[in-house]
Structure 1
């Protein structure tokens, strides 16, 4: 009986080891003279990326091959986030000044300007949609409140939100991966700078609640950069992008309970600054940043570094299991799980 038990334990440990070792990032391409921060994976075949120099890329075969274009008239734009709905339809936002929101319905052959703001105080950080019609764009604070734009017609028109959240002095959001904003039945924003906070509101009636986060903060390069919802918890990652090897307070988890949220720091966090976190399945989350890529298989309690290469963003297919990563120098990768 004892021998059978020991054999069972060893078998489980071996299976776990094989599973963990199988998790890796496979490079697709690099050495393209752009920085990519926008990434939207539609399904197992279709994905879009966006980046500097007005550049857009699309794959229709799961990332093996990419078609690239530099949008005419926007050669100096930095498209920090993209939301794609098919191989034909996508919306992109440009950070910096002027601030733009563009949309295509013909696979990128033509792009129409749906929003333009030449005032240099406007800086767009992130975009997310609850469904194909209803979406939000988050921008840096103006006049003590975060800029929050809303569309109810798939990005055809954008209007200021009726009740954007109040921003603390020198608090901001990070246009690092487009995932400091997440939208489903609620709107969640994570912040950094002078303070690290999580701001949450119902999507229909915007009434904001805030929670302080014990992530590194106090300077413009520090704070919470990304949030992801899981089945049983919410994961927040961040750190200090100016000192990306520091491992202090770079991940944070909020397990769900019937009574209330419970805040916890991981036992072992990611190995350095992380700009993006994505929910995979069950209790598995993937995170990435300039310090490398990390994974947790226990809902955020412990993390393990699986790749040393710098990436800015990781995203999973909305419909399917394709997981891609993108970063500086046109770097693209495929996550094998």
Structure 2
């Protein structure tokens, strides 16, 4: 048996090494002040990114976030665009939660927007968009008649139809339209996480039935649960918490490194409620929320808070390394590793 002083010194060296590896990570505000709460963020490459938010606001950058071209989409100034999926500096799809449920698309850099879906049913509430490739995508919505709403497109967002096989929801179970990352399409599989009365991960692999796994993230109330999921090389990470009590740190993150078979809570507490997690590289993930931003460099086991400002979403470039964050009052920031 090793002596206690040896064990303590070993642990101290580990935490010093972990801290030194994260101290250089920092977040810089690029701009703020626009009257919109940004929850949709899509980073195309190291130059181009799009954001979407409340009050009908959309913006695009083509210089890595240094400058942004803002607009309120004409005729949709009251829409709450909770998510956006961008494919280039010209083409993007936006989704509005609430009533009416809306999907719009541009192919000219936002100069014109075409209405692709419109539903006035008050039971519709859209939560997130994700695309498996440039043509095939899904939109997740809250349950209707005890089944999650899933819309599917096979033509790059020009037409949307109800997905034939959506899973059953438990009473008072729903998804969160907090960052557009409660839904992910990965290697032709659909994954989404939920909260409320329960906290689950739903997975459907191609030509397979839905698989449901209980997640050890805090749940039980309508404000609690899993809010976001991200996949790395060897693990999945889920974050969440309680957005009404965002400083509560209990059970806000978990990870799996065996294909979602089992889940482990993070070894230490994050700064509180987290609405988004994003894979960066190797074993590094970035997580953010109104309680601040955290980073892990060991696949979700240990986390360090690197910023105290509140954000809603963080996303990395699909083709590149640019990482941006966004939040309330038009706040946009860049993460520099």
Deviation at residue 13 of structure 1 after TM alignment: 9.2
Alignment of 1:1-337 (within 5 A): 18-185=20-187, 186-202=189-205, 204-205=206-207, 207-256=209-258, 261-337=261-337
Deviation at residue 16 of structure 1 after TM alignment: 6.1
Deviation at residue 12 of structure 1 after TM alignment: 10
* SS state at 1:137 partner: strand
Tell me which residue corresponds to 2:3. none
* SS state at 2:22 partner: helix
* SS state at 2:314 partner: strand
Gaps in structure 2 of 5+ consecutive residues: 1-12
Change (3 A) 1:12 1:145: closer
2:287–2:294 Cα contact (<8 Å) kept: yes
2:22–2:304 Cα contact (<8 Å) kept: no
* SS state at 1:315 partner: strand
Equivalent-residue separation in structure 2 for 1:210 and 1:163 (angstroms): 14
* SS state at 2:329 partner: helix
Deviation at residue 155 of structure 1 after TM alignment: 0.3
Equivalent-residue separation in structure 1 for 2:201 and 2:180 (angstroms): 15
1:171–1:191 Cα contact (<8 Å) kept: yes
Equivalent-residue separation in structure 1 for 2:16 and 2:327 (angstroms): 33
| TM-score normalised to structure 2 length | 0.94
Equivalent-residue separation in structure 2 for 1:211 and 1:306 (angstroms): 31
Deviation at residue 293 of structure 1 after TM alignment: 0.2
Summarize deviations over 1:90-145 as a string: whole Å, max 9, x none. Answer: 00000000000000000001101111100110000000001000000000000110
* SS state at 1:163 partner: coil
* SS state at 1:311 partner: coil
Deviation at residue 207 of structure 1 after TM alignment: 1.5
Deviation at residue 261 of structure 1 after TM alignment: 2.5
Deviation at residue 200 of structure 1 after TM alignment: 0.3
* SS state at 1:81 partner: strand
Q: How many residues align?
A: 325
Gaps in structure 1 of 5+ consecutive residues: 1-10
